[in-house]
Amino acid sequence: MINFRYHVVSLVAVFMALAVGVLLGAGPLKEPIESSVAEQVSSLREDKQLLRDELAAASTRGVYADTAFRALQPQALSELLTGQPVAIVTIGGDVQARRVEDVKASLAAAGAVLAAEVNLPDDWVGSSEKVRAGAATAVADLLGERGGESLGDRAMIAAGLAVALRGPDGAAGPDSSGQTGQDSEGQNGKDGKGGEGGASGGEPDPALVELPGKLFEALRAAGLAAGSISAPAAGVIVLSGPYIDDPAKIKPTNVTDGRREHYTGVVSALAEAGLRTVVCGPDQADSDLVHRLRNDSVSATSVSTVAAPLPAAESITALWALAASFHSINGAYGIDGDDLEFPPYQPAPAAGQPGAEGNGGAGSGASPSVEGA
């Protein structure tokens, strides 16, 4: 049985150990301990200062690189997309405004025409099933279902956006090659008579001319899109994001994230409609749109992707990639893993001139067929 003497012995042992520790710390071990701690603190301070210097140097290099890209912008973009109508589509509400403004300025420097500026809000993927079903029904009615009985609600909505941006065959009369009723590859429309629904003699069909506006209004009314469309587009620059400077804040979400999957479907619909498509944004996590597209065997060949955290570099790279896509050249540009790639310099044919080739992707280069308005 444990008695009082046992507790006394235990307490005495504890205090003796404490006393020995104090004596050793204040005596023979004092200087080695203080020296070791001082060295560690000094080393940590040096490491901290070194990291600050590296960060300052990287920031300076980034500022210089961005300034250099801006200075070279007029020469790098001159006559790159002369007269070509291009749409800007932003994904969600976290794309920095500066990136959008840089792309708009670059389009102007390249001689392109801003055909549309559209935002797909978070409701594009977060809306209720009832809202999606209503919007899909409205789009299907406007498109004459375009064989859409096999399309799900999300695919139908994405197809509606693609037609709204590109315009249906026959809506604009003579096309960019100057040949009435032909798509960008110089091929006849589905009916072999110069596009579906086109009026005779190359005159635009009024019903088809109004169709893109009606489609976009249906998407806006459902809260699935915002912005404006002023003309049919030949190419699209999609901006996703944002870029994250601090790696510790990057969340490596599983690639099965449904939100990104649905945005991937939108990009596929744009490419399948014959729109030359370039998607810009970070490739930092599995859930990033650019990462998903680069790792999808179909999207990787039908659209171009750009990962460039400097706004000026991103806009110039995006426009070079878009111009190259008019020659059926698609690729992954900017930062791609450990590689740094830049698109080839291939100015797009001027609008109204022959020579524009198909998208080179999964689509045929023609917009989705429209069976009535």
The domain ranges of the chain are: 1-77, 82-341
99, 314 Cβ separation under 8 angstroms: yes
The label of the residue with tokens 């080739």 reads: 357
pLDDT tens for the 373 residues of the chain, in order:
567 777 777 888 888 888 877 776 666 666 776 778 788 888 888 888 888 888 778 777 777 777 777 787 888 899 999 999 999 999 988 888 889 999 999 999 999 999 999 999 888 877 788 898 999 999 999 988 554 456 788 899 999 999 999 987 644 433 333 333 333 333 333 333 334 444 445 566 777 888 999 999 999 999 999 999 999 999 999 999 887 765 555 555 443 445 556 788 899 999 999 999 999 998 888 888 998 899 888 888 899 999 988 888 899 999 999 999 999 999 999 876 666 789 999 999 988 765 544 444 333 334 343 333 3
370, 143 Cβ separation under 8 angstroms: yes
Q: What sign does the CA torsion over 205, 207, 209, 211 have?
A: negative
Q: What is the pTM of this model?
A: 0.72
Amino acid identity for residue 207 in this structure: A
Amino acid identity for residue 199 in this structure: A
How many C-beta atoms surround the C-beta of residue 120 within 10 A? 24
- CA gap 124, 28 in Å, rounded: 71
- CA gap 170, 220 in Å, rounded: 24
What DSSP element (H or E) covers 283? none
87, 237 Cβ separation under 8 angstroms: yes
What CA–CA distances, in Å, run from 210 to 42, 181, 193, 229, 371?
A: 72, 17, 21, 12, 14
| 8: exposed, middle or buried (Cβ count in 10 Å: 0-12, 13-18, 19+) | exposed
